[in-house]
Amino acid sequence: MEDRKSNKYPEDDETGDVIAMYQTLEQFLKSEEFEEDLKKVLEKSNPKYLDILEKRRRDIERTDHGIVIAGEISSGKSTLVNKITGKKILNSGNLESPATVCKLRNSDRVKIIVEHTSGKIEEIDLNDKCDPNTKEGQRILKKTLKELTSSEENRSYRTVEIDLPIPFLKGNTMIVDTPGIGGSEEATEKMMDYLPNALSFVFVINVSNAGGMQKDRLPEILKKLICLKLDDDMPCFDPKDVIFITNKWDIIEEDDSDSEEEDQKTKTWKKTLSDIKSQWLKVDERNIFRLNLKEVLPGKENPSVEQFEEFQKVFMPCIEKAKHARVTVHLSFLRELLENAAKNVNARLQLDQQSEESQIELTNTHIKELEELKEKCSKLT
Ligand SMILES: Nc1nc2c(ncn2[C@@H]2O[C@H](COP(=O)(O)OP(=O)(O)OP(=O)(O)O)[C@@H](O)[C@H]2O)c(=O)[nH]1
Ligand SMILES: [Mg+2]
């Protein structure tokens, strides 16, 4: 393993500009120059603005734009990721599935990058060893990943990143396979820790599990997400974008005993829909899919393939949106805060007309500084 050289994308410059704007604004609003009474007025229009500014800056500094695939253990998450990429790379159906967050990223070079909980980063270059477009290449990648994630060292991994050509993924947007909820506590914790990096989610539900979602541990993660959102720790995640895949309908037995009664599948569908709606109020029903992932095979025609195609029509725009989501949301937040700050300083200037010249000069400096930031903000959008 070698130490990793950092990847840089064109949109990183844009992000860098937004981070710099946050820093300048934080410095200015904290400084003595920005007077106490102005601070109080701003606090009224934008309560806790300094705390929020700091949280927002931390959010834009996150480099992963994750589309996170999550759900209960063995629900079909890794199978789904393999179907999305069209490559059998992630291990599925393994009782000892990797208890690590696995991130897939588009790259010209094939490599695996391991991040330890200590922060140490290591890289395994596989570029000359496998071509991921061939079955053999996928087998090698899968085997390497399996060895890596089933090793004792896996416990010290925070994330494992697999870089390979996935043209539909842009820049830092990644598809993230997570350890199943209900597995080891340690793995669930790693998954929960990763959540603030996410911009979007696909939840996979195994409908053949008795009790469906109530017994499923999915509500646990949904609650955590709601808390993160309410605390402003995930400002760029839009709850309406969440997608649900209900999987493994083939395991539910057909009930042909009494045609008068609703069959098992209809009952399960109604229950699953009502569970999802009660646990995730913002759900868009068009984002709930019903299929058997194992029947999603190239060249086949069946209801699962049709549903998978419908799913892709919703999923692909999420990927496109993720590329600029952070910069767009942060710029509009900055613009609103700057407008409020400038408005307050302007009002102050009018009151100060009669007072000392130095006072007016200082207020003018505030306005100039805020206007400069606003202009930078407009140039970026
Ligand atoms: N019957 C049935 N089995 C499926 C279907 N989709 C996936 N499976 C199987 O379910 C098992 C678990 O699938 P995975 O993709 O590994 O599930 P996972 O959610 O990644 O599991 P963990 O990572 O261990 O939490 C595998 O044996 C899959 O082949 C389906 O539609 N029907
Ligand atoms: Mg898995």
Task: Give me Rg for the CA atoms of the chain.
Answer: 25
Q: Is the CB of 97 under 6 A from ligand 1?
A: yes
User: Looking at the CA of 93, which ligand is closest?
Assistant: 1
pLDDT at 68 over 90: yes
pLDDT one-digit tens code per residue, 10-35: 566 778 888 888 988 888 888 887 77
Q: Is the CB of 73 under 6 A from ligand 1?
A: yes
Q: How far is the CA of 237 from the centre of ligand 1 (A)?
A: 27
Task: Using most ligand atoms within 8 A of CB, pick from 68, 79, 84 the residue to mutate for ligand 1.
Answer: 79
Q: What does the pLDDT read at residue 7?
A: 58
Cα–Cα distance, 220 to 203 (Å, whole number): 12
Q: How far is the CA of 94 from the centre of ligand 1 (A)?
A: 9
Q: Is the CB of 202 under 6 A from ligand 1?
A: no
**Residue identifier of the C-alpha nearest atom 5 of ligand 1:** 294
Cα–Cα distance, 7 to 4 (Å, whole number): 9
**Residue identifier of the C-alpha nearest atom 2 of ligand 1:** 248
Q: What is the mean pLDDT of the chain?
A: 85
User: Looking at the CA of 96, which ligand is closest?
Assistant: 1
Question: Higher-confidence residue: 374 or 310?
Answer: 310
Task: Using most ligand atoms within 8 A of CB, pick from 95, 207, 247, 293 the residue to mutate for ligand 1.
Answer: 293
Of ligand 1's listed atoms, the one at least distance from the Cα of 247 is 31
Q: Is the CB of 74 under 6 A from ligand 1?
A: yes
Q: Tokens 């009930």 identify what position?
A: 255
pLDDT one-digit tens code per residue, 139-155: 999 999 888 887 666 77
Residue 5: band (very low, low, confident or very high) from pLDDT cuts 50, 70, 90: very low
Q: How far is the CA of 301 from the centre of ligand 1 (A)?
A: 21
Of ligand 1's listed atoms, the one at least distance from the Cα of 72 is 25
**Residue identifier of the C-alpha nearest atom 7 of ligand 1:** 76
Q: How far is the CA of 37 from the centre of ligand 2 (A)?
A: 55
pLDDT at 322 over 80: yes
Contact 252, 268 (CB under 8 A): yes
Report which residue type is found at 344.
N
Q: How far is the CA of 70 from the centre of ligand 2 (A)?
A: 9
Helix (H, G, I), strand (E, B) or coil at 105: strand
pLDDT at 61 over 50: yes
Q: How far is the CA of 73 from the centre of ligand 1 (A)?
A: 9
In sequence order, what E strands does the chain have? 2-3, 65-71, 101-106, 111-116, 121-125, 157-164, 173-177, 198-206, 243-247, 288-290
Of ligand 1's listed atoms, the one at least distance from the Cα of 98 is 23
pLDDT at 1 over 60: no
Instruction: Give CA 129 to chain center in angstroms.
Output: 31
Contact 124, 112 (CB under 8 A): yes
Helix (H, G, I), strand (E, B) or coil at 325: helix
Residue 356: band (very low, low, confident or very high) from pLDDT cuts 50, 70, 90: low
Contact 79, 294 (CB under 8 A): yes
pLDDT at 224 over 70: yes
Cα–Cα distance, 191 to 220 (Å, whole number): 12
CA distances to 34, 123, 297, 352 from 357, in Å: 17, 61, 76, 9
Delimit the domains of the chain by residue range.
2-59+328-380, 65-324
Contact 239, 282 (CB under 8 A): yes
pLDDT one-digit tens code per residue, 101-142: 999 999 999 999 999 888 888 999 999 999 999 999 999 999
Taking 3-state DSSP, the helix, strand and coil percentages for the chain, each rounded to the nearest 5, stand at 55, 15, 30
Q: How far is the CA of 184 from the centre of ligand 1 (A)?
A: 17
Q: How far is the CA of 172 from the centre of ligand 1 (A)?
A: 27
Mean pLDDT value across residues 351-363? 64
Q: Is the CB of 292 under 6 A from ligand 1?
A: yes
Instruction: Tell me which of 3.40.50.2300, 3.40.50.720, 3.40.50.300, 3.30.300.30 is the CATH number of domain 65-324.
Output: 3.40.50.300
